[in-house]
Amino acid sequence: MASILLVLGVLGVVVAGVTVWPLVAAADEQSKLRPATATVVEQRPCGRQTKGDRIEVQIGGKTRTGTFNGCGHLEGHELEVMIPAGASDGFVAIPADSAGTELEDLVLRANLVLATLAAVAGGGYGILLGGKR
């Protein structure tokens, strides 16, 4: 009986650690991004070989050029983007509306795994209380 509970306890700690670690890492990456308005300076066609449209962003009074994680926008088009906090030339920007998607996916995964872990722990507790009859 004790060996079952020991295995369930160790399994619970491992699963919780593996589930929560990517969530903490994604939240840290999310906090390193800041919103900005970018202007497309070079339109690039969509396809596997392209890295995305070239954009310019005003950061602290200086104009920085980078790449937008998207393609096919007209030159002069303004985009709401998320850029790295200490962005210099050559940064990669992502659309502002998709910035939370990865974090939200990880939160959903963590919730599902932890709910499953709670169910397994409840089953183990039921086994413990059931005893020998």
Domain count, the chain: 1
Chain position carrying tokens 């998607």: 101
Do the bridges between strand 62-68 and strand 91-95 make them parallel or antiparallel, or are there none, so unpaired? parallel
Q: What is the pLDDT along the chain (133 residues), one digit of tens a residue?
A: 667 777 777 877 787 777 777 766 665 555 577 788 889 998 888 877 777 888 888 877 888 888 887 788 888 889 888 887 776 777 888 787 765 666 677 778 878 888 888 888 888 788 878 766 6
The answer to whether the beta carbons of residues 37 and 80 sit under 8 Å apart is yes
**Model pTM?**
0.50
**How would you class 130 by CB atoms within 10 Å of its CB: exposed for 0-12, middle for 13-18, buried for 19 or more?**
exposed
The CATH number given to whatever domain includes residue 26 is 2.40.50.140
**Can you give the residue range of the structural domain that contains 120?**
2-130
Task: Classify residue 114 as left (phi > 0), alpha (psi -120 to 50) or beta.
Answer: alpha
Rg over CA atoms, the chain: 23
